[in-house]
Structure 1
Amino acid sequence: MAADHPSTPPAGPVMAVSAPDNRPAELVLAGQIGTGSLRELEEHLAAPPLREATDWGVDMSEVTHFDLACAYALLRAATLRPKPATLRIHGARRAVQRTLRHAGLDAVAVFEE
C-alpha cells in the first residue's frame, strides 16, 4: 500500500453517484474495478446527474485496480455527451493513472491529486 493512501480500500468494486446542490456531480469509485463490473460502471456513468453535468468528477482515491475496458468506458462517457463537460479525476494512484492515460483520458480530463 502506498504511503499516501494509508486506508485499506474494499477489494470489490464500490460505486456511487452524488450530485450535491451547487456542486459538480461526482462518481465515487473504490476497490478493484475490472471487466466484471463494467456494466455497473456504464450504468453509473449514464445516470442523469453525470450525463447532464457540465462539470463532473471521478473520485478514484480508493481505487486499487482499474481495468483498461473500464477506462475506455469512462472515456466514452466523457466524449460522447450531448454537451461538452469538464471532467476531473481525483486521487488516482500511479498505476490507475497509467491505465487512464493509456486509454487517452489525459486528452479530455484533468488529473488532480
Structure 2
Amino acid sequence: MTLDPHRSTQNAPVWIAEAGGHHAVLAFAGTLDSHALQVLEELVMDPRLREPTDWTLEMSGLENIDLASAYALMRAVTRAPEPVSLTVRGARPAVHRVLRQAGLDTVVTYAE
C-alpha cells in the first residue's frame, strides 16, 4: 500500500491517504491530542468517507493519541450510516493501549 505523501492540510496529524470504492485509508503521524481533535472530527465527516465501509487506520507514524481522540474514532465508526469495518495497522503499544481504553477493541482488527 502506498500512502499519499501530500497531505490535504499542512502538518495535520491525520489525513485521508486514499479513498475510493469501499475502502479508505486514514494516515496518522505525530501526536493526536486535544489540539488536533477538531481536525479529526472534521476529517471523519469528509464526503470521501461516506461510501467506503472498510477503513484502514495507518498508525505507524502516530507517536501518541489521547483518550478524547480515541473516543472520536469510536464515535465515527459506531455512528456511521453503514457498518464500518475498521483495521488498525502499525499502532505502537502506547497507542494500542489508549485505543483499547476507549473500547475500540470491540470494533477493530489489528494488523502489523
Q: Which band: TM-score by shorter chain?
A: 0.7 to 0.9
Q: Structure 2, unaligned stretches of length 5 or more?
A: 1-10
**Secondary structure in 2 aligned to 1:73?**
helix
C-alpha deviation, 1:53, in angstroms = 1.4
* Structure with greater proportional helix content: 1
Q: How many residues align?
A: 102
Match of 1:90 in 2: 89
Aligned amino acid, residue 58 of structure 1: L
Q: In angstroms, what is the RMSD of aligned CA positions?
A: 1.6
**Secondary structure in 2 aligned to 1:35?**
coil
Match of 2:25 in 1: 26
**Secondary structure in 2 aligned to 1:98?**
helix
Distance 1:106 1:32, change over 3 A: same
CA distance in 2, matches of 1:99, 1:18: 23
Match of 1:44 in 2: 43
TM-score, L = length of structure 1: 0.82
Match of 1:6 in 2: none
C-alpha deviation, 1:63, in angstroms = 0.5
CA distance in 2, matches of 1:89, 1:53: 16
Paired residues of 1:54 and 1:83 also in contact (CA < 8 A)? yes
TM-score, L = length of structure 2: 0.83
C-alpha deviation, 1:51, in angstroms = 3.4
**Secondary structure in 1 aligned to 2:82?**
coil
Distance 1:81 1:92, change over 3 A: same
**Secondary structure in 2 aligned to 1:69?**
helix
